[in-house]
Structure 1
Amino acid sequence: MTLTILVPTRGRPANLARLWRAFLDTCEFETKLVALVDNDDPELAGYQALADRLQDEPMFQMGIGPRLRLGPTLNQAAPKWATRSDAVGFMGDDHLPRTVGWDGRYLAELERLGTGLVYGNDLIQQAALPTQVAMSSDIIRETGHMVPEGAIHLWLDNAWLALGQALDAITYLPDVVVEHLHPIAGRAEWDAGYAEANADAVSDADRQVFEQWREHELPRWVQQIKEAPRG
């Protein structure tokens, strides 16, 4: 099985370089890191310099495009990668895999589930929310989405949890650590990106999108996934 991790990132090329080093140190398979960068990023030169250094690395790829925000960026990129990988996942540029072989553990669990989602211990939310996640690609292929349409940044992890529970196919691996270096836990400094993403207006809007999706769209997603032909 193959796994692609999508990493939307803005203003933090050093974080992306740190995450790439962690992939090299911890991945068991040739798990691909796909960085998704905005073409108006003030740190675009830093990202391009990193991509130039890694141009011969088969596990690293960078896409640069118009700024869409986190949720729409995932929904744009995920369907393409779902046709190229057995599983597609998400990490933020402030996540850091700590457990050697984490990708193998994810893939083994997804193979066992057949269709489903898996997440590790981020040392903040732990079992409560999949702040990083991997899912079997058929979920994305059948629904056309990785997250509810219209969600900007927050409540995406709530949606992944709700989907996994509705499918009865989500696994938390407490001994697989993918640390979330977030300022809420004192593990990073608040910057413009965190301030924008955690603004009350964004949170309120994303919560409304999540609640509407859970009531009206989630049952359709589950039906599409479960009724899809196998093999």
Structure 2
Amino acid sequence: MTAPLLVIVPTRGRPQNAARLVRAFEETESLNADLLFVADHDDPELPAYHVAAPRLLVYQGATGTGMVAGLNWAASLYADVYDHFGFMGDDHLPRTAGWDAHVLGALNSPWPRVVYGNDLFQGERLPTAAFLPSRMVRALGFMAPPVLRHLYVDNFWLDLGQALGGLRYLPDIVIEHMHPAAGKTAMDERYSAVNAPEADVADRLAWLGFRTGDAFPEALRRVREEYSHGAHPAA
């Protein structure tokens, strides 16, 4: 029997982070959320992941496609299984006991929702860990825009929730982001690669093209059409 919420964690080269996140789920009694790691097929740490992560999918896509490809792949596999999806990085840690019940309380609505907690870094400014109804993901056809590789995904979720009037920030629900920019972990090879200037520019241009072109309005149209069986309440 599955939980109502599947939290997908794309990861590479950090089995120790996977083990740490598993412990955090246990310590916060996350009884309403299943945890799924998505690792690359060529990850040299894959044997260690099989030990660290109780539930692991191995993504067979092209190397270097970034976390978005694995995230969308996993979401597509479970789109008809779970009521809701979540994204966490392998450097997120839920800290609030029963956080998942609060997230589900905010998600359980007849209207589209993008829900996020306090990551103790960006706070309300950006949903670095985000939760969406699977109905909404099915309507979009993805959980994050496929034109992105790693960065600006949180900008998409923020703008999506705002445009739909369904953005919900839970300030008391802590899902800490243990990121180098927050001074909470050391820069490693993976961080250096995905935050390199050329990687940032590529994703920023892809996001701006998506946001200012036809793709974002089309995404909104698909979600609104899916949820069109009633009047939207005041945001």
In the superposition, the TM-score normalised over structure 2's length comes to 0.90
* Aligned twin of 2:177: 180
Structure 1 window deviating more from structure 2 (127-136 vs 213-222): it is 213-222
1:73–1:209 Cα change, 3 Å: same
| Residues in 2 aligned to 1:122 and 1:139: alpha-carbon distance in whole angstroms | 23
* Aligned twin of 2:190: 193
SS at 1:82's partner residue?
coil
1:44–1:3 Cα change, 3 Å: same
* Aligned twin of 2:57: 63
- Answering whether residue 212 of structure 2 is matched by residue 210 of structure 1, we say no
The answer as to whether partners of 2:115 and 2:169 remain within 8 angstroms in 1 is yes
Cα deviation for residue 28 of structure 1 reads: 4.2
- Answering whether residue 97 of structure 2 is matched by residue 100 of structure 1, we say yes
The answer as to whether partners of 1:148 and 1:209 remain within 8 angstroms in 2 is no
SS at 1:177's partner residue?
strand
- Answering whether residue 160 of structure 2 is matched by residue 163 of structure 1, we say yes
For 1:144-155, list aligned pairs within 5 A: 144-155=141-152
* Aligned twin of 2:233: none
Cα deviation for residue 127 of structure 1 reads: 0.3
Structure 1 window deviating more from structure 2 (2-11 vs 72-81): it is 72-81
Cα deviation for residue 50 of structure 1 reads: 2.5
- Deviation per residue, 1:118-145 (Å, 9 max, x gap): 0000000000000000001111101111
SS at 1:115's partner residue?
coil
- Answering whether residue 48 of structure 2 is matched by residue 46 of structure 1, we say yes
The answer as to whether partners of 2:10 and 2:37 remain within 8 angstroms in 1 is yes
* Aligned twin of 1:123: 120
The answer as to whether partners of 1:27 and 1:104 remain within 8 angstroms in 2 is no
* Aligned twin of 1:82: 79
The answer as to whether partners of 1:120 and 1:174 remain within 8 angstroms in 2 is yes
Task: Count residues with an aligned counterpart.
Answer: 223
Correspondence for 1:36 among 35, 38, 43: 38
Unaligned runs of 5+ in 2: 231-235
* Aligned twin of 1:21: 23
| Residues in 1 aligned to 2:197 and 2:207: alpha-carbon distance in whole angstroms | 15
In the superposition, the TM-score normalised over structure 1's length comes to 0.92
* Aligned twin of 2:9: 7
Unaligned runs of 5+ in 1: 55-60
- Deviation per residue, 1:61-105 (Å, 9 max, x gap): 210123431111112111222211111010000000000111111
SS at 1:23's partner residue?
helix
| Residues in 2 aligned to 1:188 and 1:163: alpha-carbon distance in whole angstroms | 30
| Residues in 2 aligned to 1:73 and 1:171: alpha-carbon distance in whole angstroms | 25
| Residues in 1 aligned to 2:38 and 2:208: alpha-carbon distance in whole angstroms | 27
* Aligned twin of 1:57: none
* Aligned twin of 2:107: 110
Q: Which amino acid aligns with 1:39?
A: H
Q: Which runs of 4+ in 1 moved over 3 A?
A: none
SS at 1:7's partner residue?
strand
| Residues in 2 aligned to 1:88 and 1:82: alpha-carbon distance in whole angstroms | 9
- Answering whether residue 230 of structure 2 is matched by residue 228 of structure 1, we say no
Higher helix content, 1 or 2:
1
Q: Which amino acid aligns with 1:220?
A: E
